[in-house]
């Protein structure tokens, strides 16, 4: 059991204001694996006050000092990567080998990227008779999700600290244990008291207290579009800066000259990553109508290779969904897809017979999907792929952009020039061209209802900086 009874505020572990606690449940066994404090608005007040007191001194530190904090933190995280991976595999359900690479090692790379960035970033520049300064925005409220919990925490905390801000973090109550381990390492790394504060709890009251607090200068939120709207609404009352990374319904456009087998295989793999619990997952596969049935056959075979099972074992390629509520939500979408006339190719809403415990959903593929169907328009957040036929390139681009979201996309063609041309016409924040790999230095974020603001690299750093001109 991973039990925590204190919050991390002002450089120390302190008792919460109330006696409440939140149980953390394993999605594979349905057993309680940990416990965290149920924070309150009073705890938020305590944490924000600590962050506000610490801000002037933190803001006055040199980039070299801040580099030192992040460099030590990255080294400590690297040394504990196996512990992070096991913890997150238990909390979220991602198979352990994959959790090691994605959930543990990727956040280390992100933290280290800001160490390198701080060495050369121009915080001041001369423009004729003015000196233009980039200065920290202030106290940052960070609210993070459960699907890539450590990764999303580091994507906010590392650039905020690099900028000279102070932070109040509320991790997801569904997968919070990794945040407590990170807080231990932040302390060990010598980050000044009050620069990083951890308050666990539910969105109401803790998340809302942070978003509405008059002494918080900026909110950075990753989660659902519905919750993002609420954060923006509360933040607007005190005219905070807001960065939102929200949902997605990303198209995977397979052009008529693409290597169909490669594009479909990679597309299914991307859709199923983390049991489909990925905001940027390519959940809509757009294929030429003449090759629809061939693509469906390939997708079925690939999806059925994703064996379900214990994420801490050695055989499973797909773990459970994170909770019973999430499992039921995904199953309801699968049932709706059948009701609306999509062809269920493999998977389905029924529980896998071989796994009576755990929040498992079979990898599911739908064919003959119309883009106006619910399963093609709403974010399912589970292992569900929609295959949508299109008539020609113009139709493919139209369908790709026919969504309220705009987080990510993919384009495949044997002609790199053609693939790039189509990619430039898609309204999404990040488009992978012929399987382009994730780049932690490139900006990540969305168009439309996928949010605004960017994470990673110097674009991520600049979210936490204000611009000041000194006129001479």
Instruction: Please list the active-site residues.
Output: 245, 279
End-to-end Cα separation, the chain, in angstroms: 61
Number of helices and strands in the chain (H, E): 16, 21
Note whether 164 and 66 are within 8 A (CB): yes
Q: Give CA angle at 409 (274, 100), nearest 5°.
A: 25
Q: For residue 215, report the phi and psi dihedrals to the nearest 5 degrees.
A: -95, 5
**Which residues does residue 297 pair with via DSSP β-bridges, in sequence order?**
none
66's CB contacts (< 8 A; 6+ apart) are 118, 161, 162, 164
Angle between helices 177-188 and 149-163 (to 10 degrees): 30
Q: Residue 221, Cβ neighbours under 10 Å: how many?
A: 29
Under DSSP, the state recorded for 289 is G
Q: Give CA angle at 32 (26, 35), nearest 5°.
A: 110
Q: Residue 276, Cβ neighbours under 10 Å: how many?
A: 24
Note whether 321 and 333 are within 8 A (CB): no
Integer Rg of the chain from CA: 22
**Which residues does residue 227 pair with via DSSP β-bridges, in sequence order?**
none
223-227 long-range Cβ contacts below 8 angstroms, 24+ apart: 223/143, 223/144, 223/145, 224/379, 225/379, 225/405, 225/449, 225/450, 225/451, 227/203
Closest to 355 measured CA to CA, from 287, 423, 309, 393: 309
């Amino acid at each position: 059991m991973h039990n925590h009874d204190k919050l991390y505020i002002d450089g120390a572990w302190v008792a919460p204001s109330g006696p409440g606690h939140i149980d953390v449940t394993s999605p594979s066994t349905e057993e309680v694996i940990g416990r965290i404090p149920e924070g309150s608005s009073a705890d938020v007040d305590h944490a924000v006050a600590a962050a506000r007191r610490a801000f002037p001194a933190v803001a006055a530190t040199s980039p070299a000092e801040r580099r030192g904090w992040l460099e030590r933190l990255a080294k400590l995280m690297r040394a504990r990567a196996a512990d992070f991976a096991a913890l997150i595999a238990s909390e979220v359900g991602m198979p352990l080998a994959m959790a090691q690479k994605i959930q543990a090692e990727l956040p280390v790379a992100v933290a280290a990227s800001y160490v390198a960035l701080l060495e050369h970033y121009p915080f001041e520049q001369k423009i004729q008779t003015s000196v233009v300064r980039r200065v920290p925005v202030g106290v940052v409220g960070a609210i993070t999700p459960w699907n890539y919990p450590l990764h999303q925490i580091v994507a906010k905390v590392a650039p905020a600290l690099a900028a000279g801000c102070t932070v109040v973090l509320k991790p997801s109550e569904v997968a919070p244990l990794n945040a407590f381990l990170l807080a231990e390492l932040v302390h060990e790394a010598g980050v000044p008291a009050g620069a990083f504060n951890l308050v666990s709890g539910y969105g109401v009251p803790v998340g809302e207290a942070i978003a509405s607090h008059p002494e918080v200068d900026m909110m950075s939120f990753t989660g659902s579009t519905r919750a993002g709207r609420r954060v923006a609404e509360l933040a607007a009352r005190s005219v905070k800066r807001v960065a939102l990374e929200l949902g997605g319904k990303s198209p995977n456009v397979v052009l008529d000259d693409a290597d169909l087998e490669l594009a479909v295989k990679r597309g299914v793999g991307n859709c199923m990553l983390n049991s489909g619990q990925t905001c940027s997952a390519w959940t809509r596969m757009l294929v030429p109508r003449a090759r629809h049935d061939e693509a469906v056959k390939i997708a079925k075979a690939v999806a059925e290779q994703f064996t379900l099972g214990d994420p801490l074992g050695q055989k499973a390629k797909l773990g459970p969904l994170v909770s019973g509520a999430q499992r039921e939500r995904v199953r309801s979408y699968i049932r709706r897809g059948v009701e609306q006339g999509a062809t269920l190719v493999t998977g389905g809403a029924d529980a896998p017979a071989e796994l009576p415990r755990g929040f498992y959903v079979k990898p599911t593929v739908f064919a003959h999907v119309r883009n106006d169907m619910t399963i093609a328009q709403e974010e399912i957040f589970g292992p569900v792929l929609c295959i949508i036929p299109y008539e020609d390139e113009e139709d493919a681009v139209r369908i790709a952009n026919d969504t309220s979201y705009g987080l990510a996309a993919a384009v495949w063609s044997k002609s790199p020039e053609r693939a790039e041309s189509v990619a430039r016409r898609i309204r999404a924040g990040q488009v992978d061209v012929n399987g382009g790999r994730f780049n932690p230095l490139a900006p990540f974020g969305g168009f439309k209802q996928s949010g605004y603001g960017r994470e990673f690299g110097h674009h991520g750093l600049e979210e936490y900086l204000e611009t000041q001109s000194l006129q001479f």
